[in-house]
Amino acid sequence: MIGIVGYGGYIPRFRIKVEEIASVWGSNAKSIKNGLMVEEKSVPSIDEDTATISVEAALNALKMAQINPQKIGAIYIGSESHPYAVKPTSTIVGEAIGVGSEFTAADTEFACKAGTAGIQMVMGLIKGGYIEYGLAIGSDTAQSKPGDALEYTAAAGGAAFIAGKKNVLAEIEGTFSCSTDTPDFWRRENVEFPRHGGRFTGIPAYFKHIISATKGLMDKLDLKQSDFDYIVFHMPNGKFPLRAAKMLDFDSEKLIPGFVVKSIGNTYSSSSLLGLVATLDIAKPGQRILLTSYGSGAGSDSFSIKVTDLIEEKRKRIKKIQDYIDDKEYVTYAKYTRLRRGI
Amino acid sequence: MKVAILGVGTTKFGENWDKNLRQLAIEAGTKAIMDAGIRGRDLNAIYVGNMSAGRFVGQEHVAAMVSGELGLSIPASRIEGACASGGLALRQGLFSILSGQHDIVLVGGAEKMTDLMTDGVTSSLMGAGDQEWEAYYGVTFPSLYAMIARRHMFEFGTTREQMAKVAVKNHHNGSLNPIAQFRKEITIKQVLDSPMVADPLTLFDCSPITDGAATLILCKEELAKKYTDNPVYIIGSGQASDTLALHDRRSLTTLDATVKASKEAYRQAGITVKDIDLAEVHDCFTIGEIIATEDLGFCKKGEGGKLLDEGATEIGGRIPVNTSGGLKAVGHPVGATGVKQAVEIVLQLRGQADKRQLKDAKIGLTHNVGGSGATAVVHIFSR
């Protein structure tokens, strides 16, 4: 069965606290923190972008997989902050990690779910017998307009997954998607910051798709809530995944290991994937994880992932994502502005 | 004067993401037609209250949209008076029957607001203010009502807690109303701690952005018994105007248009304020309800806050105000609000208000305001 051969995450060191941003705009930090359930967010350094973050995550995944990188036949990188409008991030990463030249590559964009779409694409190529291993990455340095509500959460991070059939640390039992034309969040070409539909991003967008895809997956695989030991939903803030868990009758405690949003914010294409990384870091063999991403525009990809015995040995090979979360340095709003906007 | 109300209908108020203006209007309309026990072909005319469909959804010519959708070729007119559009539509429907022109008419109010983002809604709503002398300088409705609130605090010692009590009471009432946008109880502390919108008004002092529609079927008095054993009558109607801009008014803390409209309505009905058993008033902001209770004569000027402290305006109090939950909790689809207020009074007078039903309510009042008080319309209803 197709599964995960190696995984790795990366989170930039810098953090900015909600209090620091709120103080600039004269907003009430306490009520923002209560509302979003986010304490601080990660901030990329001046020389970090989606490509460098992807490389860091991919090197971790390779280190865990212990495969010859040249056996990777496909690289898909999902992001809404690719450094170039035209010129792929995926070839930069392929070159950097030593994949050689015999591989197919493309950048994907589907708001915050472009990374999980990449996982589905490599699954298809592996299942079709076209490639042996495939690398799918979700990575972002998310943009937010100064003063916008998004500024408290738009963060940076990346997660990489090498999929294959041999020596898998977790089997991907199945996947199910739901996609509709729903304009809840967008950024047009040549526009610096995304716009969003405020409360429209909730019920008709995030919740509708997360719930439809999750229910669809459970129906397809004939699984019920109690069959899953952990759940990970896309985390635009802390409140949405908790509410989605409640709406789907899941015990919200199953979200806890993957609940990275509180300390790093919403890392967009890598948000749910970093939640999966954090959950894989603690899961035991035989346990089952539900992963449902969400991308505005809009759609969700849901996966059922069952951990194998190999996880214990393989995950020792790299740092835990919690180490990245704990290794941090706070920046002021002034420094944040310099890092993000190059003043 | 006396005109009967045969039927009422409303949609759920709230973020009706999956319904457009047409669907909302038709849903409320067909509910009212069925409630009245008439056929569509019994209608002689349609009056639709709508403030700004042109800006909210790009659709003008709303009344013809409604008549066409109902498959009728009868006269259909849209009435606009900002947030008082619904109340004004009711008044035009009323007059069309009193004039002898029509026997049975449909009065609807509808607004679809959530297709725009908040900044778009705010600037569209500012169309109800003075573009040249208010909007041009950056003033929005929350800030106009904030100035009114500040002045009321200064002149009469009204407190933030008293304003918060309006929101707490109306959320409680809304929790009992199945069509309300907000059905959760809140506390004074929650109101005071909610994000500041325009000092001193916080988020929970403000009515929300809402989609919704409401409809009434009006009928000539002599014909009413043919259709229903339980008619509610409109026995008084008053309307008045004031300057568009707040700063041109005689006072910031009295809406003269409300005072004038209510006096006319009381006169037509042949009653005094003491005869009123319940009222739906225009609480677009919490201070709006405090001022309305004063201007309508439920208490002396400046004592609106005290009225709340005494619990007089709660369900079971001396003069229950906004038993529906008001604009604050039911929501405020601007063109629909004036009609929805009348629907609540009809339900109360018929004894159909379920968990929020008042005992022995005989005479009810609606008070609908356009802008910051440039239009006010008051209706009085009896069993």
Q: Is B195 on the interface with A (CB under 8 A)?
A: yes
pLDDT of residue A244: 98
CA nearest to A270, candidates A92, A81, A144? A81
Q: Which two tokens stand for residue A106?
A: 């493309």
What number is the average pLDDT over the span B33-44? 97
Of B18, B114, B195, the CB nearest to A31: B195
CB atoms within 10 A of CB B121: 19
Number of residues in chain B: 383
Any catalytic annotation for residue B284? no
**Encoded amino acid at A27, one letter:** S
pLDDT per residue over A9-59, tens digit each?
Answer: 999 999 999 999 999 999 889 989 999 999 999 999 999 999 999 999 999
Secondary structure percentages of chain B, helix, strand, coil, to 5: 45, 20, 35
Distance CA B379, CA B268 (A): 10
Contacts for B224 with CB less than 8 Å, ≥ 6 apart:
B4, B6, B231
Q: pLDDT, tens digit, for every residue of B265-306?
A: 999 999 999 999 999 999 999 999 999 999 999 999 999 999
Residue matched to tokens 């009469």:
B156
B193 close to A (CB below 8 A): yes
Residues 14-43 of A with CB under 8 A from B: 27-28, 31
To the nearest whole Å, the CA of B201 is away from the closest chain A CA by 15
Taking residues A311-320, report their average pLDDT: 97
DSSP 8-state code for residue A312:
H
Neighbour tally for B64: CB within 10 Å: 15
SS3 content of chain A, % helix, strand, coil (to 5): 40, 25, 30
For A200, the closest of B17, B193, B196 (CB atoms) is: B17
The C-alpha atoms of residue B167 and residue B206 are separated, in whole angstroms, by: 8
For residues B1 and A82, the model is more confident at A82
| CA count, 13 A, side-chain hemisphere, B140 | 15
Of B118, B111, B378, the C-alpha closest to B261 is: B378
pLDDT of amino acid A343 = 77
- Position B14 scores a pLDDT of 98
Instruction: For chain B, give every domain's residue range.
Output: 3-117+210-232, 121-208+233-382
Q: Do domains B3-117+210-232 and B121-208+233-382 have the same CATH topology?
A: yes
Which residue is associated with the tokens 């679809």? B112
Q: What is the pLDDT of residues A235-247, one digit of tens each?
A: 999 999 999 999 9
Report whether pLDDT(A65) > 90: yes
Distance from CA of B17 to the nearest CA of A (A): 7
What's the pLDDT at A198?
A: 87
Tell me the per-residue pLDDT of A175-194, one tens digit each, with 9 for 90 and over.
999 999 999 999 998 899 99
Which chain B residues are closer than 8 Å to A209 by Cβ?
none
- Tell me the pLDDT of chain A averaged across its residues: 97
* Residues of chain A with C-beta less than 8 angstroms from the C-beta of B118: 198
Q: What is the pLDDT of residue A340?
A: 87
Residue B1 has pLDDT above 80, yes or no: no
The tens digit of pLDDT for each residue in A121-156 reads 999 999 999 999 999 999 999 999 999 999 999 999
What are the tens digits of pLDDT across the range A266-307? 999 999 999 999 999 999 999 999 999 999 999 999 999 999
pTM of the predicted model as reported, rounded to 2 decimal places: 0.86
Domain B121-208+233-382 sits in which CATH superfamily? Thiolase/Chalcone synthase (3.40.47.10)
Active site residue B206: no
The superfamily (CATH) of domain B3-117+210-232 is Thiolase/Chalcone synthase (3.40.47.10)
The B232-241 sheet, strands edge to edge = B76-79, B45-49, B104-111, B212-220, B3-10, B232-241, B375-382, B363-370, B278-280
Closest by alpha carbon to B90, among B79, B101, B75?
Answer: B79
Contact A50, A145 (CB under 8 A): no
Give the position of tokens 């990970």.
A232
SS (H, E, C) B177-203: CCCCCCCCCCCHHHHHHCCEEECCEEH
Tell me the Ramachandran region of residue A286: left when phi exceeds 0, alpha when psi lies from -120 to 50, beta otherwise. Answer: left
Alpha-carbon distance A64 to A164, whole Å?
A: 13
The residues, any chain, with a CB within 8 Å of residue B133's CB and separated by 6 or more, are B244, B245, B247, B248
Question: What mean pLDDT value characterizes chain B?
Answer: 97
Helix (H) / strand (E) containing A182: strand A170-182
Tokens of B362: 């005989």
- What average pLDDT does this structure show over A165-178? 98
Distance of CA B336 to the CA centre of its chain: 7
B196 CB-near residues (< 8 Å, 6+ apart):
A28, B202, B203
Give me the helices (H) in B17-100, please: 21-36, 53-56, 62-69, 85-98
Q: Label residue A268 left, alpha or beta by phi (over 0 means left) and psi (-120 to 50 means alpha).
A: left
Q: Which residues contact A50 (CB under 8 A, 6 or more apart)?
A: A77, A79, A81, A82, A83, A89, A139, A140, A141, A158
Report residue B22 CA to chain centroid gap. Answer: 20
pLDDT, one tens digit per residue, over B45-57 is 999 999 999 999 9
Res. A211 pLDDT band, cuts 50 70 90: very high
| Neighbouring-strand partners of residue B184 | none
Residue A309, exposed/middle/buried by CB under 10 A (0-12, 13-18, 19+)? exposed
d(CA A292, CA A339): 31
Would the pLDDT of A165 be above 90? yes
Q: Given CB atoms, is B15 within the 8 Å cutoff of chain A?
A: yes
DSSP secondary structure letter of residue A206? I
Structural domains of chain A ordered from first start: 3-169+312-341 (3.40.47.10), 174-307 (3.40.47.10)
In total, chain A counts a number of residues equal to 343
* Lookup: tokens for B281: 């008033």
Contact A31 B193 (CB under 8 A): yes
Tell how strand A72-78 and strand A133-141 pair up: parallel
Question: Given this model, what pLDDT does residue A81 score?
Answer: 96
